[in-house]
């Protein structure tokens, strides 16, 4: 079953295919260290059948397996610079994405959508006071804090500063919500 090429799938496949090219050029060394494409569950057939969530999980497992090998002093690939760089790149890609409703999405883009929704809700509540909108804003701020996407949190903080002069009570409520742990 061929899956649509999501942003996550495209990005991670690019990295894995790069690894496979290196692997094919040095199969004996990788085999001695118990690294095979099939064992890593990164063969073409498996990857084609994975959902994004399964691909994410398989990539996490692959990274752990390779990391265990390159940190083992007895391994032929101990502290292999190229593999260390590859694992760092894979970890960065994984760190930039989260699972929501069985879908893997980019954390920054998701945070930006929430942020834009908060800004729209703030403008709505400034024009017409509505407790439900304030509650919705608070829930969205909580979700943003859970994502821990610092750039978006900083942007929201700056945006809240802009409503300070217009509606100090709303500003205080939302700022408190943003700062609460």
Tens of pLDDT, residues 57-114: 999 999 999 999 889 888 888 888 888 999 999 999 999 999 988 889 999 999 999 9
What 3-state DSSP class applies to 73?
A: coil
Q: What pLDDT is recorded for position 153?
A: 92
Q: Could you tell me where the DSSP H helices lie in the chain?
A: 7-25, 27-32, 44-49, 52-70, 81-95, 107-127, 131-147, 150-163, 168-179
Q: Round the average pLDDT of the chain to a whole number and report it.
A: 89
Indicate whether 2 pLDDT > 60. Answer: no
């Amino acid at each position: 079953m061929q899956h649509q090429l999501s942003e996550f799938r495209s990005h991670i496949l690019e990295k894995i295919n790069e690894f496979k090219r290196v692997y094919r050029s040095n199969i004996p060394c990788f085999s001695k260290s118990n690294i095979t494409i099939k064992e890593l569950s990164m063969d073409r057939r498996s990857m084609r059948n994975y959902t994004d969530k399964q691909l994410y999980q398989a990539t996490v497992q692959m990274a752990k397996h390779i990391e265990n090998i390159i940190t083992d002093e007895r391994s032929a690939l101990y502290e292999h610079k190229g593999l260390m760089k590859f694992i760092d790149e894979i970890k960065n890609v994984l760190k930039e994405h989260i699972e929501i409703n069985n879908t893997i999405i980019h954390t920054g883009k998701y945070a930006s959508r929430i942020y834009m929704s908060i800004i729209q809700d703030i403008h709505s509540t400034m024009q017409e006071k509505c407790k439900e909108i304030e509650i919705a804003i608070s829930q969205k701020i909580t979700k943003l804090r859970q994502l821990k996407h610092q750039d978006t949190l900083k942007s929201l903080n700056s945006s809240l500063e802009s409503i300070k002069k217009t509606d100090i009570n709303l500003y205080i409520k939302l700022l408190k919500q943003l700062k609460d742990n």
